[in-house]
Structure 1
């Protein structure tokens, strides 16, 4: 257990272990829900992050991976009829990734499944809000 009296290195190690453990539980949860839809975890992550038309670079940043990895995932989603590549409205070198009607429906089903029995369900909405703020501060430094 991390306490204010612990040496900083021990407290940091304990906290990192907890964050890693939570991240693993969230990843396992995503993987289980993805399988229920016939998707891989990276495919489910891409669908989850596609909140609207975006470039491959934008998607790869949201997924936390290299653009080449996102391209591989999108190729598979395109083959499943869930995503299409359209001409970018202002950059002719780029393509916009757009969900098909089936892709949007699959994304909605995925989001419903991800909301069920999430590892964060043990926290109240207020606690989740506080945790979000703390993690945002840790990640952005502000």
Structure 2
């Protein structure tokens, strides 16, 4: 097998592994969200608002536009899991934060999502650093 073929095979396997990680995370998130009557996207938004954050931060964490996240947050507010607060650093902006009920659901979600909570659990701290550094190089 030529070096180019090996390189392409390795790249394909890495992409496949990224896909497997993503699918496992998504399945775990959906399974954890369902008992609370939430979608996986709502669960991810709730987890992102564990501490008060601007809506933009939630959108960034969900890889979505803020306008697409607004209905997700609205639904969580309706469920009493999130609340909007004034942003002391920006009088025009609002922060989104979990309520006490939201924090209870977050604790349950995290308990039901062991892989998503710690996807690198099987790696040593040194391996995690190497993986991070390699992924940064690949993205750059």
1:13 positional shift: 1.4
The question of whether the paired residues in 2 share the 8 Å contact of 1:87 and 1:95 is answered with yes
Which of 123, 128, 133 is the aligned partner of 2:129?
A: 133
Query: Which ranges of structure 2 fall in alignment gaps of 5 or more residues?
Result: none
The question of whether the paired residues in 2 share the 8 Å contact of 1:37 and 1:110 is answered with no
**Partner residue, 1:45:** 44
Query: Which ranges of structure 1 fall in alignment gaps of 5 or more residues?
Result: none
Distance in 2 (CA, whole Å) between partners of 1:120 and 1:74 is: 21
The question of whether the paired residues in 2 share the 8 Å contact of 1:60 and 1:67 is answered with yes
Distance in 1 (CA, whole Å) between partners of 2:53 and 2:19 is: 29
Counterparts of 1:27-42 in structure 2, within 5 Å, are: 27-42=26-41
Distance in 2 (CA, whole Å) between partners of 1:92 and 1:124 is: 39
SS at match of 1:86: strand
Aligned length: 136
- 1:72-94 Cα deviation digits (max 9, x unpaired): 11011001011111111021121
Specify whether residues 105 and 65 from structure 1 end up closer, same or farther in structure 2 by C-alpha distance, changes over 3 A only.
same
Moved over 6 A (4+): none
Query: What is the RMSD of the two structures over their aligned residues, measured on CA atoms?
Result: 2.7
Instruction: State the TM-score, normalized to the length of structure 2.
Output: 0.82
1:134 positional shift: 4.4
The question of whether the paired residues in 2 share the 8 Å contact of 1:120 and 1:128 is answered with no
1:49 positional shift: 1.9
Distance in 2 (CA, whole Å) between partners of 1:5 and 1:128 is: 31
More strand by share: 2
- 1:82-125 Cα deviation digits (max 9, x unpaired): 1111111021121010111111111111111112xx3898x884
SS at match of 1:96: strand
Higher relative contact order (CA 8 A, sep 6+): 2
